[in-house]
Chains A and B, each alone.
Chain A
Amino acid sequence: MQTDTKSKIDQTTAPSGTPVTVLRFEGDISSASKDAVIGSYQTLSKTTVKTVLLDFTKVEYINSSGIALVIQLLMEAANSGQKVLAFGLSAHFNKVFTMVGITKYAGLFPDQAAALATV
């Protein structure tokens, strides 16, 4: 019954010239999404990837277990000295992420261009 989460890894460059890795998620983010969220993040090189963007544009449902996976990703990124930004959340999930304090550790932006402009 839980919808699978798909994830895709893209490479892009910020206007500043900094290389950025984008993790694009699609579907629900819930307790069943560990491989898609943590697994795909863990395939990234800790030495060469310094900035990670999380794309939630195609995510419609995130529950507290899914938010916990995002926090786990942020923890691993912080321990590796990586910067994480997120974009594409709906107004509601923007509010929920802010409520739980994620904004302290990951900037939230309306779209990819706005996020890249800060890198």
Chain B
Amino acid sequence: MMTAARATTVEVRLPSRLGFEKVAMSTAAAVAKLMGFREERIDDLKTAIAEACINAIEHGNRLNEKLSVGVVLSAGEDALEIKVMDDGKGMKTLPSKPDIDRKMHGEEDARGMGMFLIQALVDEAEWVVGTNGKGSYVRLVIRLDKEEA
């Protein structure tokens, strides 16, 4: 868990339109840079947050532009926590790890790698189902390495 003390929060609201995940990516990258993250970890963060936003836009809000995706970045002393919120019902079960052989043989959809990438690129990833079937979010944490801090 990140240190709660001295957390600085930045919030962004995105329309549910593909492409706007790049606004969250650049905002997160700017915050991470200010915190002292290495470029390599910033690239990891950008891909993870892009995939989380795309899932929220496509699956959570079903591309309904009347709904927005909320992104909250909380910068602590030793970690950056990101929450990406939508109006969907959330993920009750996580998809299995993508299998390139099955994809290449047409036995598995070529898509469906977003959640795998998120989990692989950040230190913590948690999908939280909203109460009353609404207001779900994904919570990501990426930690500053000792040599970065």
Q: Which among B80-88, B97-105, B137-145 touches the partner chain?
A: B97-105
Cβ contact within 8 Å between B100 and A32: no
Q: Which of chain B's residues has its CB closest to A102's CB?
A: B100
CB distance from B56 to the nearest CB of A (A): 13
B17, B22, B106 — most chain A CB neighbours (10 Å): B22
Number of A residues, CB within 8 Å of B: 28
Cβ contact within 8 Å between B40 and A92: yes
List A52-73 residues whose CB lies under 8 Å from chain B: 61, 63-65, 67-69, 71-72
- A6–B47 Cα distance when bound, in Å, is 21
Chain B residues in 8 Å Cβ range of A99: 116-117, 120
Residue B44 at the A interface, CB < 8 A? yes
Cβ contact within 8 Å between A1 and B111: no
Given A71-B110, A91-B40, A96-B47, CB of A105 within 8 Å of CB of B18 = no
- A116–B43 Cα distance when bound, in Å, is 28
Chain B residues in 8 Å Cβ range of A31: 18
- A65–B58 Cα distance when bound, in Å, is 11
As a 0/1 sequence over residues 72 to 109 of chain A, the CB contacts with chain B under 8 angstroms (1 = contact) are 10110010000000000011100010011110110000
Q: Which of chain A's residues has its CB closest to B15's CB?
A: A1
Residue B54 at the A interface, CB < 8 A? yes
Residue B113 at the A interface, CB < 8 A? yes
- A75–B22 Cα distance when bound, in Å, is 29
Cβ contact within 8 Å between B100 and A104: yes
- A91–B39 Cα distance when bound, in Å, is 11
Chain A residues within CB distance 8 Å of chain B: 1-3, 30-32, 61, 63-65, 67-69, 71-72, 74-75, 78, 90-92, 96, 99-102, 104-105
Closest 6 CB pairs of A and B: A101-B100, A1-B19, A2-B19, A92-B43, A68-B110, A68-B111
17 pairs across A/B with beta carbons < 8 Å?
Answer: A30-B18, A31-B18, A32-B18, A63-B47, A63-B51, A64-B51, A64-B54, A65-B111, A68-B109, A68-B112, A71-B103, A99-B117, A100-B98, A100-B100, A100-B113, A100-B116, A102-B100
